[in-house]
Structure 1
């Protein structure tokens, strides 16, 4: 298959929706020789901040001279962004080759009635196949959703499990309480793993602390396979289709538990160029903007501390503190309160759920008090967009709404109506290009007090960043 045929195949496979369960991916990986067992991994779960923590860890590992594979979803620029080695996208040619291998095995499974892997399961298997084939030293694997039944949760054991910030999202699949969501995320932890946790809120921190303390326990559970399908309206629905395993016994004993420690942190400075802070005896600086990025950075520091505990057993060298300091300083991660321009000031942020919107509102309060904020907004219909609007409309001078290309996108016209109902001037614009043009034109009229903020979903932030860069390079 050539690259275009691969992409077309995946687009067709996307119509299956997503299925929570591990049997298909385990079967598929077995047919590929179990590449997931060949490389030490960081497995990262959580609601927000997974990508940022991964970016910090990745930059440090690469600076230490390691060959690092990274698998992420969703992407913000293009399809091949999912699979990277030392920050280089997989080539179209190798993507075709790797995916053809996986698709051939998928088709055999279909023919043999041995399961029907979803597009995400195929892409996940391709990641392990690609990284093993290229003999990566370490891999970074981001959970797609949840953890326990996520297609990435296929390791017999994972050297390092990282739990990023946990809050409410995907409740239709993960549960309606923080306890149920946290337990789903903690489902990635296997016997003998090292666990690293972000500085959580009090309730979630207690859940994770209790989990870490109660190691050695045996629990019995019944896993229920849930299937999410996308209807023509773009709305995801769920139904119970089968019991995947009955009363599975799971014994968990952690090797070690690392927790990012707020009490050991002292923030020195914060502005739109980044932050400086002191943590456990060392001074650090980061270029990623926002208070949350400091918390993500100290989580990454603890993840590197965890890596140093097991490096020798994999024939790898420990990473010295100077490499960590320089790696954090060099880390870039687009679409997270990213400054795209200064005249007018233009911010792109992929905030897509309540916790992220609360943090965005806090950063707006910190950096843009009494400024006139022009928003470019697009959201997905399965998100709690009413909460977003309740949090953010009080800061809006004017809103420009769009409908992103995602099949799950909320109609931008309806979004504009909701904003107007909250007493804010809003208008729907048909494309991201026109939205950027309109926002910059309005900012010029408003003057130096104006700030443009694009937010609401990662589904269109990549396009906004690309369009802005192209305009500035004209």
Structure 2
């Protein structure tokens, strides 16, 4: 058994060697052994390709403002491992991590000896979250973010009050399929019988797959741009402002501090979820509370302005959809600036189109690698770039320090790519600044 936080964390991370193990059999086995904690939790389930973390944050902030103690389970972490299991946005303590690891470790050993095989890192952390919110510190509601896909994701043992699917993109195709429709089928696996679904999926084929599954499950569907809409959107210096509409109901001057049109969509999903929690499940959430919650919401590493003079932006744009949102926002807000980009990514991503979009936006672009098993080599990223002003660096810390020190008045430095990379950058900048 573990005596220290470091020992517990080392064991958890050692399970990374097992890779990704889709399927629910190991989770169901552990839930049975733990007396089904997943059945004791009121929850909301959020899946999709991009925007999951932001949508979790908006909804959590709204629920907090309404006076509900709200748990979250998210991945990956940005600043510290503990934030993956949080209460009201505050990561659980090191001591609680040790207790949770000691609760799950014996089950892991026992499971390893069965034909199912040992649990993956993500399965262990998911089980820890279930046990924590059911037994160690029950809360009013928990928001679970899907790790990968939906149908066979470890979180899909829960029985949520409602589900949200943010959008569909061509990410994790080696696990989820190569078309929007195939990926939508996996994401639609979180739809539960007679429980409302809220979604912002745009592709007609993907939407059709999701609607079909919802019909099979007799689940009411609330579709962005059909059942509820965003009007009067304006980008302002501090973020975005818009009006949310559902039938005759309007929520005017909804303001968020996260940047981009895509963030208004994530916020709109959270508003719809709050409305349904009130209507269908008896939550008491006033419209003024929703507005206050949206304005207070902050999620690190999402177009995060670290310093204003000189301007340094961090953004965890880790797939083509994320890169598109980032480059659109840079072009809209900073068309008169010289944009310098430092980029790193995981090797299993579709990198060519991502880098092409960055090339079109950046005046200068630097490619780096970082310490992570799946990280791409800087040389590989560099070779995919067609920019006449491209560089690569072996040491990403030195690259950031050098570029930041050389920024002139009209320059912007944008550090972007994998969220695992951004996590390491955040820690480095915290010490550097």
Normalised to the residue count of structure 2, the TM-score between the two structures is: 0.94
Partner of 1:192: 194
Partner of 2:340: 374
Q: Indicate conservation of the 8 Å contact 1:268/1:276, yes or no.
A: yes
Whole-angstrom CA distance in 2 between matches of 1:54 and 1:439: 33
Partner of 2:185: 183
- Please give the residue correspondences for 1:43-62 in structure 2 after superposition, counting only pairs within 5 Å: 43-62=45-64
Per-residue CA shift, 1:125-155, capped at 9, x if unaligned? 1000011121111011011100001111112
Partner of 1:339: 305
Q: Indicate conservation of the 8 Å contact 1:41/1:140, yes or no.
A: yes
From 287, 296, 309, the equivalent of 1:330 is 296
Deviation (angstroms), 1:389: 1.2
Per-residue CA shift, 1:142-172, capped at 9, x if unaligned? 11100001111112x3211110111110111
Q: Indicate conservation of the 8 Å contact 2:25/2:116, yes or no.
A: no
What SS is found at the alignment partner of 2:357?
Answer: helix
Whole-angstrom CA distance in 1 between matches of 2:371 and 2:279: 44
1:388 paired to 2:354: yes
Distance 1:99 1:147, change over 3 A: same
From 80, 83, 89, the equivalent of 1:81 is 83
Deviation (angstroms), 1:464: 2.3
Whole-angstrom CA distance in 1 between matches of 2:304 and 2:257: 10
What SS is found at the alignment partner of 2:405?
Answer: helix
Partner of 1:227: none
Partner of 1:426: 391
From 440, 447, 454, the equivalent of 2:404 is 440
Whole-angstrom CA distance in 1 between matches of 2:312 and 2:237: 11
Deviation (angstroms), 1:105: 1.3
Q: Indicate conservation of the 8 Å contact 1:191/1:253, yes or no.
A: yes
Deviation (angstroms), 1:388: 1.0
1:470 paired to 2:403: no
From 307, 323, 329, the equivalent of 2:277 is 307
Partner of 2:324: 358
Whole-angstrom CA distance in 1 between matches of 2:346 and 2:234: 35
What SS is found at the alignment partner of 1:167?
Answer: coil
Q: Indicate conservation of the 8 Å contact 2:146/2:153, yes or no.
A: yes
Q: Indicate conservation of the 8 Å contact 2:168/2:201, yes or no.
A: no
Whole-angstrom CA distance in 2 between matches of 1:11 and 1:341: 32
Deviation (angstroms), 1:253: 1.9
Distance 1:396 1:202, change over 3 A: same
Whole-angstrom CA distance in 2 between matches of 1:17 and 1:264: 40
- Please give the residue correspondences for 1:103-182 in structure 2 after superposition, counting only pairs within 5 Å: 103-113=105-115, 115-133=117-135, 134-155=137-158, 157-182=159-184
Whole-angstrom CA distance in 2 between matches of 1:96 and 1:154: 24
Deviation (angstroms), 1:36: 0.6
Partner of 1:289: 259
From 403, 418, 422, the equivalent of 1:461 is 422
Deviation (angstroms), 1:268: 4.1
From 265, 276, 292, the equivalent of 2:230 is 265
Whole-angstrom CA distance in 1 between matches of 2:89 and 2:343: 29
Whole-angstrom CA distance in 2 between matches of 1:415 and 1:186: 33
Normalised to the residue count of structure 1, the TM-score between the two structures is: 0.86
What SS is found at the alignment partner of 2:273?
Answer: helix
Partner of 2:241: 276
Deviation (angstroms), 1:311: 2.5
Partner of 1:404: 370
Per-residue CA shift, 1:429-467, capped at 9, x if unaligned? 4132x1221111221xxx222111111111111232333
Whole-angstrom CA distance in 2 between matches of 1:414 and 1:47: 25
Whole-angstrom CA distance in 2 between matches of 1:43 and 1:459: 23
Deviation (angstroms), 1:203: 3.7
Deviation (angstroms), 1:325: 0.8
Distance 1:371 1:154, change over 3 A: same
Whole-angstrom CA distance in 1 between matches of 2:293 and 2:303: 20
Q: Indicate conservation of the 8 Å contact 1:400/1:429, yes or no.
A: no
Structure 2 gaps, min length 5 = none
Deviation (angstroms), 1:112: 4.8
Deviation (angstroms), 1:113: 4.8
Partner of 1:225: none
What SS is found at the alignment partner of 2:154?
Answer: coil
Partner of 2:95: 93
Q: Indicate conservation of the 8 Å contact 1:403/1:409, yes or no.
A: yes
